[in-house]
A and B are shown apart, each in its own frame.
Chain A
Amino acid sequence: MTNCLIVGVGGQGTILAARLVGMAAMEAGLSVRGSETIGMAQRGGSVASHVRMGGEIFSPLIPPGEAGVVVAFEPGEAVRAAEYLSPRGIAVVCDRPIQPAAANSASAGAYSAASCMDWLRASAPVLYEADGEKIIARISARCLNVALLGIAIGAGAFPFETKHMEAAIARRVSERYVKMNIDALRRGMALDF
């Protein structure tokens, strides 16, 4: 079984990313089970999508310490999800922070994304850092999710092949964005931003 946890801040496109991973696994003939965060947290809260692929799967949630890959759209959320990583797990982390509005308005101030990235460098068994500003500037904020999935595929984190993910994108994404997303996927795989 391969467990993939996708985390981020509500509104970043984690739900679609998780669907794509699940669909790609099904394209590859694997059984899939997973769980979504839908509801209030979609308005800027912490969100997590669990995707479990292959073999006999009971629970839709991944237990801590059993995620082979964590794809994090945000550095703070990556740290929060780190307890889910398995001892040889791969973390793909977008380094672009989203500061909570509350931190901005309260005296607490912003949190440090840099210290989160440092912590991850010291703690994650395998870490792929994605330069979020570059991805947004050179590809599109809309494709950040698929670019990150591309990095994870390139890292060999998933039990399916690129063609399966491409097929999932073609089925799920609306037609006019398919090319853009497949391009983002390939650039993610090649770490070309």
Chain B
Amino acid sequence: MDRQLLMGNEAIALGAIRAGIRLATGYPGTPSSEVLETIARERSDGLYVEWSVNEKTAVEVAAGAAMSGARVLTAMKQVGLNVASDPVMSLNYVGVKGGMVIVVADDPGPISSQTEQDTRHFARFAKIAVFDPSSPEEAYLMIEDAFNYSEMIARPVIFRPTTRVCHSYASVNLAESRSSHSQNGGLGFTKDGGKWVIFPKLAYENHVKLEETMAKLGQVFSDYPGNILLDGGKKGIAASGVSWLYAREAVANPGAGFECKQLKVATIPLPESLCLEFLSGLDEVLVIEELDPVIERELIYLCGRYGLKTVIKGKLSKHIPNAGENSPSGVKDAILRFLTPDSPQIIDKASSHEPRRPLPPLPARPPVLCAGCPHRASFFAVKEAVKTQKAVFSGDIGCYTLGNAMPLDMVDTCLCMGAGIAQAQGIHRVEPDTLNFAFIGDSTFFHTGLPGVANAVYNKADIIIAVLDNSTTAMTGGQPNPGMGKTLMGGDAPKLSIYNILAALGVDQLQRVDAFDFEAAKAAAQKAAGASGVRAIIFEGLCVALGKTKSPLKVDAASCTGCGACVRRLGCPALSIRGKGAAIDPVLCAGCGLCKYLCRFDAIGS
């Protein structure tokens, strides 16, 4: 047996390949991106994988393949599911033929997201079954179960890891052989008398079946090995995902001396008879889960329905925090308080705070644009160009959201993928004497930026679209996008020209400029600011994460007056004041030259 150190997302990918997927799609988003990247890296012939332009498209491509009998996977982060929700909702009514697993990574914390939404809620709303793994090993095996169940019910299922499963790693035993799944009724699209065409009548009929299916799953999931019941005591702990591991660590610790019943819930619908077996004879239950109190509410419901007197504690009763990520120590404390409320350990903990040496002042470290980032140059150009004018800067999702930080302070709004261009239009309708810039990255432009542009041209908006084209999808780790001339499979691809697209959409005041040609970039921004209507500037400059090409710059101590302008105005991580003058960290500096351009004393050079 092969044993490998795998990250959760890698385990999901390898498990899916083992389960016999023929096609995989997705759109990058932390913490889900490595699933597709690993499939692309480890795939064998006959497996097609793509970064789709957005999550909606990804689900639709996968749906077509699954209707044609193939096993398919599609991967995204939780907010990506919002974009994909239209096809996902309907697809569950229409159904699939080949197994279809939608991997949706939730992000408690949130660590890299705009919401703490809980995909289990979405799945309940859509009436889709959910598999909720707790570790990379479990994910590796569970993904295949997800495919099997999907084929059994002929509907998509959701596989929902959280960040601490996606980005944790473990030594995983890899099975030797490919699993022996037989293609469900063979490959190929069968017309099947309207089965694939959603009409109200069909929606009604399928709704009835859907309710039956979900009820049945609630029964069969009691035998699903991912749902676990451990016996003991009059109190019980129910947990899911990584919280189950935190709870096990607290309870299984030799010497902890705890006795309690333990329930691991890995599926939605909840395994009803297993839950009832768990509840039976218990006085109290503590539910430990992340994001929303989904299991907690279900158990409360079961108690009501079956007239049980068990008290259910958790997020609703404020025994577990109702926002943010759980931690091993937080879970341990909650369990301790729940199981042994009068224990001396708790009293100890509260009273005998170890006298700790006071900490020295520590720096806050908000994420920042890299040294040499082309976005800093573009933001700086616009900032300089319009500094005396009233302007609002709409941003979008990507590295360039970090342009909001001081001293750049160039992102006033950020809502969701593609929103900035449309938001700018709305702001301008209310405040017409304002210059409205909308910054958007190249990948985001293709993802959901286009409709906003069409809307602007059609409705005669008065905005300046600033496309920050760094030739990659930087924030998520540099995935290819339609503007780059390559795909995830590695082959050449047509390069979609943002310039031509904007022109075709009717944007006629169109400029393209090198972000590192600082004067030209500023002049382009000034020209756009002086005009009206829908204007666009494409700022081009490669992301430094793609490789640094220039040598670091140096400060000439003799010429530097220590005025601090470079440090104060750019927020570049490579620049600092050391002693009397500026200093450039040679490890970080990418040689972009923005500070050299800005210095009035000619103190920076190569």
Between-chain CB contacts (< 8 Å), 29 pairs: A19-B169, A22-B5, A22-B171, A33-B135, A34-B169, A38-B30, A38-B477, A39-B111, A40-B30, A41-B112, A42-B367, A56-B252, A63-B327, A63-B329, A76-B362, A100-B363, A100-B573, A102-B365, A102-B368, A102-B405, A104-B571, A104-B577, A105-B406, A105-B568, A105-B569, A105-B570, A116-B360, A118-B360, A119-B359
Q: B344-387 interface mask toward A, CB cutoff 8 Å, 1 = contact, 0 = none? A: 00000000000001011111111111100000000000000000
Contact A36 B7 (CB under 8 A): yes
Interface of B is mostly: loop
Identify which of B30, B169, B369, B402 contacts A33 (C-beta below 8 A): B169
Q: A7-40 interface mask toward B, CB cutoff 8 Å, 1 = contact, 0 = none? A: 0011100000001001100100011111111111
A156 within 8 A of B: no
Q: Which residues of B contact A105 (CB under 8 A)?
A: 406-407, 567-571
Distance from B103 Cβ to chain A, minimum over Cβ atoms (Å): 16
Contact A40 B475 (CB under 8 A): yes
Contact B370 A11 (CB under 8 A): yes
User: How many Å lie between the Cα of A11 and that of B545 in the bound state?
Assistant: 10
Contact B112 A33 (CB under 8 A): no
User: How many Å lie between the Cα of A61 and that of B98 in the bound state?
Assistant: 37
Interface residues of B in 125-182 (CB under 8 A from A): 135, 164, 167-171
Interface residues of B in 541-585 (CB under 8 A from A): 567-573, 575-577, 585
Which 9 residue pairs of A and B lie closest in terms of their CB atoms, listed nearest first?
A39-B112, A60-B168, A58-B249, A43-B367, A39-B30, A35-B168, A115-B360, A101-B573, A141-B587
Contact B576 A99 (CB under 8 A): yes
Contact A43 B370 (CB under 8 A): yes
Query: Which residues from chain A sit less than 8 Å from chain B, CB to CB?
Result: 9-11, 19, 22-23, 26, 30-46, 56, 58-64, 76, 79-80, 98-106, 109-112, 115-116, 118-119, 122-123, 136, 141
Q: Which residues of A contact B288 (CB under 8 A)?
A: none
Contact A44 B30 (CB under 8 A): no
Q: Which residues of A contact B367 (CB under 8 A)?
A: 10, 40-45
User: How many Å lie between the Cα of A178 and that of B327 in the bound state?
Assistant: 37
Q: Which residues of A contact B327 (CB under 8 A)?
A: 61, 63
Contact A26 B242 (CB under 8 A): no
Identify which of A102, A119, A122 contacts B571 (C-beta below 8 A): A102
Q: Which residues of A contact B577 (CB under 8 A)?
A: 104, 109-110
User: How many Å lie between the Cα of A155 and that of B571 in the bound state?
Assistant: 38
Q: Tell whether A104 pairs with B575 under 8 Å between CB atoms, given A33-B170, A60-B164, A141-B587.
A: yes
B428 within 8 A of A: no
Distance from B262 Cβ to chain A, minimum over Cβ atoms (Å): 12
B332 within 8 A of A: yes
Identify which of A63, A101, A115 contacts B572 (C-beta below 8 A): A101
Contact A100 B364 (CB under 8 A): yes
Q: Which residues of B contact A46 (CB under 8 A)?
A: 365
B319 within 8 A of A: no
Q: Which residues of A contact B475 (CB under 8 A)?
A: 40
B314 within 8 A of A: no
Q: Tell whether A36 pairs with B167 under 8 Å between CB atoms, given A60-B245, A100-B365, A123-B357.
A: yes
Q: Which residues of A contact B361 (CB under 8 A)?
A: 111-112, 115
Contact A64 B170 (CB under 8 A): no
User: How many Å lie between the Cα of A37 and that of B362 in the bound state?
Assistant: 20
Given contacts A44-B367, A98-B585, A99-B576, 10 further A-B pairs with CB under 8 A are: A11-B588, A22-B169, A35-B169, A39-B112, A40-B475, A45-B367, A99-B363, A100-B368, A104-B576, A105-B571
Q: Which residues of B contact A110 (CB under 8 A)?
A: 363, 576-577
Contact B576 A34 (CB under 8 A): no
Contact B246 A59 (CB under 8 A): yes
B485 within 8 A of A: no
Identify which of B171, B249, B357 contacts A26 (C-beta below 8 A): B171
Distance from B474 Cβ to chain A, minimum over Cβ atoms (Å): 9
B328 within 8 A of A: yes
Q: Which residues of A contact B170 (CB under 8 A)?
A: 31-34, 60
Contact B402 A43 (CB under 8 A): yes
B399 within 8 A of A: yes
Contact A39 B31 (CB under 8 A): yes
Contact B587 A38 (CB under 8 A): no
Q: Which residues of A contact B572 (CB under 8 A)?
A: 101
B201 within 8 A of A: no
Contact A59 B573 (CB under 8 A): no
Q: Which residues of B contact A119 (CB under 8 A)?
A: 357, 359-360
User: How many Å lie between the Cα of A49 and that of B406 in the bound state?
Assistant: 28
- B3, B30, B402, B587: which has the most chain A beta carbons within 10 Å? B587
Q: Tell whether A32 pairs with B575 under 8 Å between CB atoms, given A43-B367, A104-B567.
A: no
Q: Which residues of B contact A103 (CB under 8 A)?
A: 363-364
User: How many Å lie between the Cα of A100 and that of B402 in the bound state?
Assistant: 14
Contact A80 B362 (CB under 8 A): yes
